[in-house]
Structure 1
């Protein structure tokens, strides 16, 4: 007994001839179907290059197109010629011109000889397959598809919609249960001949001619009627991406293909010279009875698929960037945003950098320029302090900053004077830790040496901006870690909120804060707020400040030293 190889070829005829010669010289007869769209002169040259091989034949040519009946007709014609011309064939193996044998032919022959009644074909009902792509599962068997999905997509979609609207349903021939699976199969002579010689074949052919992608359902369905032992898997290694497109194997996949222990792989890049030279010229050593196991490399493909569809957190790529929600995380690492802290504390940035051991910036979204730590003009990754460049896309600026400084926590100041286009981005970022002292921006106005009418106008504007920002932070869609204190509540007892923030920034330090940063002088601030009220502007974000006795930072009393005897 031997194996008959049916090859469906439409391009790269030189590679197909190389593989066909390999099969034939190792004792496997080959029947080749060449797409009728291949020019006659190329076909003649291809046939002539194999004319010295007695066991290579060419079948009737059909004009093949993806997803149409022509692919099934080509496989039928080639299989009929194989069964009629080579009576010693026990199994018929369907392959394409881009398939490449990965193991010595005699290993595959021995493997199939040990399983003379087993048909290897992926065959599953529509309820059991999660990988159908295109929105048509059971409907591919109950609707009609006279138009090409690739050439006449508009007509295809409109005709499907029309059939759905009128609730049209085709009658499935009695006795068959539709199944789906890979086009590439290996069937026993008994099963394949039973399918091709069935007296009801004209009825089945007429039905499947109007099924969508019949090459993935014709043999997969009919094999269930005749086979006594179906292994629902293909002996051909073929991998598909999330869009249903086949993965192409290149030279650098050599070791990956070897690890699979599969007999044949598809789809091989025509210029993969190393793959063809290695697998077609390899010596036939001792018999290897290893079971084909494509699962060995499934983990790698799954990882590649995840990288392609999800990418790395916080790293934007061309295929996902224009589509909102396709990013795998808005940023790649946690960062902290402080609102109002630099207004009520003197030298807050250096204090925080020392206490938390993090990189602390000023107002990264200040209107004049970007205030990087140390006020650098160019920061990690070539980020400029130019406000114009930053404001071209503030989201990209922040995500780049976090990406470029991976491994080091970034902290920066924010307030109503800054560019507010970044508000929703930060609020919906799970990596963001946002701490807000509401109304603290009024401290800078309190010390602003301008006419009070200008101060009142600015206060009204900043309060409106911060109120909108707080609405975003309190939105049910917010994913960031948010902590909000009014200014009055915060300065009454600042150590507790500062300790909470520090525990989140540096949880491994296990260090208690012994002192707070120095607070600015707020003497007269309560009267300042009352003056704003008297002028018709109600500063409600600061909390309740008494007019006469101004709140001050509590002084921590030093305990007297004592001795233990």
Structure 2
């Protein structure tokens, strides 16, 4: 190609024609010629307003109107007719840029012209083989070519899905026209007039149009496929920055995007919000007279948008929101930070909670899931973040109670747990990698030892608590456990409690105070007799009863350890 670059723009307008008129003038003020296609669904009054707004603007033509629908061939037909009209009215056009009525030029049009002039024979269009593409969202890759799509995806979704399923069952498979290899890409491109003429004037165009008429979303495949037939100099990259969310919807650009867009050095961005007054006033950047042909650098804004998509899809760790709350395992981590659960130690030692608080730099609570209510540190009626200690409020959503407490506090949360507590979170905590659990099985027996309750009541409560703990142990012994679990039976723990507690405390708080002394242990006198009497009454004590060492041995072992 010789001679200067003469830029033409095909502008596809569907809504907000006032914005489209403003952007069309930006293109013409930069020296481009513009062919405007207005969706046939737009009313005559709006069209007249657009024509009136551009009547003094040279280099603007209007093409034959088509009624456009998303994902239908009508969008391709509108582009074909507008491009043909542009090339007919302005035969010296060298490059044609496809844009929408919401595509905002960011840099001077002269920069874009200079960039194209640096390599005037190159076509700029994203064109990726359908066999390799992986960026389609909620759609089809190869099947969009091999199946028939006569129904509108948005307006006739039920028929669309049923017809696709029926074709799959029947093994229907259309063949691509000879000489074509299916490609996909962004619908926004910039082609040389030579390549565009070759596509529009191809002697087999009627055959190609007939095939793509029943493809799905042909505006993402028609020109992307045919450019490979007519061009050998394809830059597979769109000059329009168009970013999409995880559902495939384009991001809207607002006033607060100005710094990032300026830094991106992109030529054109889509899709601008019509009410972004400062954004529209800021761009395109003024033409300072010297041409800058540096390529777009959208890496930073792409990285920020990708992070936004991840945050939108995954959410913040441990933060549950409406879009994912009902769906199991759809959360980004069960909880937002590590926490510790201690089961049994409070039943063995008097004043264990206060002793633990003196050794750790964590927030140490009592039984947060206790039957009378949440035992916050200091036994306040309202915990951090105005979380109520009322058991009725807590038990309406125990998971929300715990995850909110962990998320809203800065320090690590440590609390006591046992078979007397609400067991609704057993699976939740056991499968949470943030949970540190110290479990001493059978320790709940010790408060019953000197409870002074009638034996029948002791037997009933013993059976109930033992059954609850056995069910909990089934959870803790499952293959799905992800918590950092330290589990001991009562006898094993009582033989050597100091190093067990020290190791666990160092794991949850590396700066914890060394364990030099232990709090006073409950009196174990009479434990053997209570277990024997329970066995003789027909109840079988489990877990620690049969294997518990003699009380004298436990007493001697502890004395030696201290």
Q: 2:426 aligns with which of 418, 423, 427?
A: 423
Q: 2:523 aligns with which of 509, 521, 524?
A: 521
Q: Deviations over 1:196-232 (max 9, x none)?
A: 0010000000000000000000000000011120000
Alignment of 1:67-146 (within 5 A): 67-146=71-150
Q: 1:456 aligns with which of 454, 459, 480?
A: 459
TM-superposed deviation, 1:361: 0.6
Alignment of 1:14-413 (within 5 A): 14-280=18-284, 282-406=286-410, 408-413=411-416
Using a 3 Å threshold, how does the CA distance of structure 1 residues 448 and 284 change in structure 2: closer, same or farther?
A: same
C-alpha contact (below 8 Å) 1:430/1:481 kept by paired residues? yes
C-alpha contact (below 8 Å) 2:368/2:375 kept by paired residues? yes
The separation in 2 between residues aligned to 1:405 and 1:280, in whole angstroms, is 46
C-alpha contact (below 8 Å) 1:522/1:550 kept by paired residues? no
C-alpha contact (below 8 Å) 1:331/1:431 kept by paired residues? yes
Using a 3 Å threshold, how does the CA distance of structure 1 residues 71 and 494 change in structure 2: closer, same or farther?
A: same
TM-superposed deviation, 1:134: 2.4
In structure 1, the partner of 2:502 is: 499
**Which 4+ stretches in 1 moved above 4 angstroms?**
546-550, 555-559
C-alpha contact (below 8 Å) 2:494/2:558 kept by paired residues? no
The separation in 1 between residues aligned to 2:83 and 2:492, in whole angstroms, is 84
Q: 1:530 aligns with which of 529, 532, 540?
A: 532
The separation in 2 between residues aligned to 1:547 and 1:116, in whole angstroms, is 93
TM-superposed deviation, 1:452: 0.6
In structure 2, the partner of 1:562 is: none
C-alpha contact (below 8 Å) 2:254/2:272 kept by paired residues? yes
TM-score using structure 1 length: 0.96
Q: 2:15 aligns with which of 4, 11, 23?
A: 11
C-alpha contact (below 8 Å) 2:21/2:53 kept by paired residues? yes
The separation in 1 between residues aligned to 2:435 and 2:216, in whole angstroms, is 48
The separation in 2 between residues aligned to 1:14 and 1:383, in whole angstroms, is 51
Q: Deviations over 1:136-159 (max 9, x none)?
A: 111110000000000000000000
Q: 1:542 aligns with which of 533, 544, 547?
A: 544
C-alpha contact (below 8 Å) 2:108/2:285 kept by paired residues? no
- The answer for unaligned runs of 5 or more in structure 1 is 560-565
TM-superposed deviation, 1:553: 6.6
Using a 3 Å threshold, how does the CA distance of structure 1 residues 550 and 30 change in structure 2: closer, same or farther?
A: same
2:477 is aligned with 1:471: no
The separation in 1 between residues aligned to 2:369 and 2:147, in whole angstroms, is 57
TM-score using structure 2 length: 0.97
TM-superposed deviation, 1:243: 1.4
**SS, match of residue 440 in structure 1:** coil
The separation in 1 between residues aligned to 2:385 and 2:54, in whole angstroms, is 58
The separation in 2 between residues aligned to 1:281 and 1:129, in whole angstroms, is 34
TM-superposed deviation, 1:486: 0.8
The separation in 1 between residues aligned to 2:293 and 2:198, in whole angstroms, is 30
TM-superposed deviation, 1:325: 1.1
TM-superposed deviation, 1:315: 1.4
Using a 3 Å threshold, how does the CA distance of structure 1 residues 314 and 324 change in structure 2: closer, same or farther?
A: same
The separation in 2 between residues aligned to 1:125 and 1:83, in whole angstroms, is 29
**SS, match of residue 22 in structure 1:** helix
Q: Deviations over 1:222-254 (max 9, x none)?
A: 000111200000000100111111111100000
C-alpha contact (below 8 Å) 2:107/2:285 kept by paired residues? no
TM-superposed deviation, 1:293: 1.6
In structure 2, the partner of 1:414 is: 417
In structure 2, the partner of 1:551 is: 554
The separation in 2 between residues aligned to 1:28 and 1:212, in whole angstroms, is 32
C-alpha contact (below 8 Å) 2:491/2:549 kept by paired residues? no
**SS, match of residue 421 in structure 1:** coil
- The answer for unaligned runs of 5 or more in structure 2 is none
The separation in 1 between residues aligned to 2:532 and 2:495, in whole angstroms, is 19
The separation in 2 between residues aligned to 1:25 and 1:500, in whole angstroms, is 74
The separation in 2 between residues aligned to 1:553 and 1:69, in whole angstroms, is 88
TM-superposed deviation, 1:281: 7.0
Aligned length: 557
The separation in 2 between residues aligned to 1:279 and 1:21, in whole angstroms, is 13
TM-superposed deviation, 1:283: 4.4
Using a 3 Å threshold, how does the CA distance of structure 1 residues 535 and 123 change in structure 2: closer, same or farther?
A: same
Q: Deviations over 1:478-524 (max 9, x none)?
A: 11111111111111111221122112112245x64222222111111
TM-superposed deviation, 1:362: 0.6
The separation in 1 between residues aligned to 2:556 and 2:100, in whole angstroms, is 80
C-alpha contact (below 8 Å) 1:19/1:280 kept by paired residues? no
C-alpha contact (below 8 Å) 1:337/1:435 kept by paired residues? yes
2:470 is aligned with 1:440: no
TM-superposed deviation, 1:558: 10
Q: Deviations over 1:322-342 (max 9, x none)?
A: 211111111111111111111
C-alpha contact (below 8 Å) 2:255/2:279 kept by paired residues? yes
Using a 3 Å threshold, how does the CA distance of structure 1 residues 167 and 90 change in structure 2: closer, same or farther?
A: same
TM-superposed deviation, 1:48: 1.7
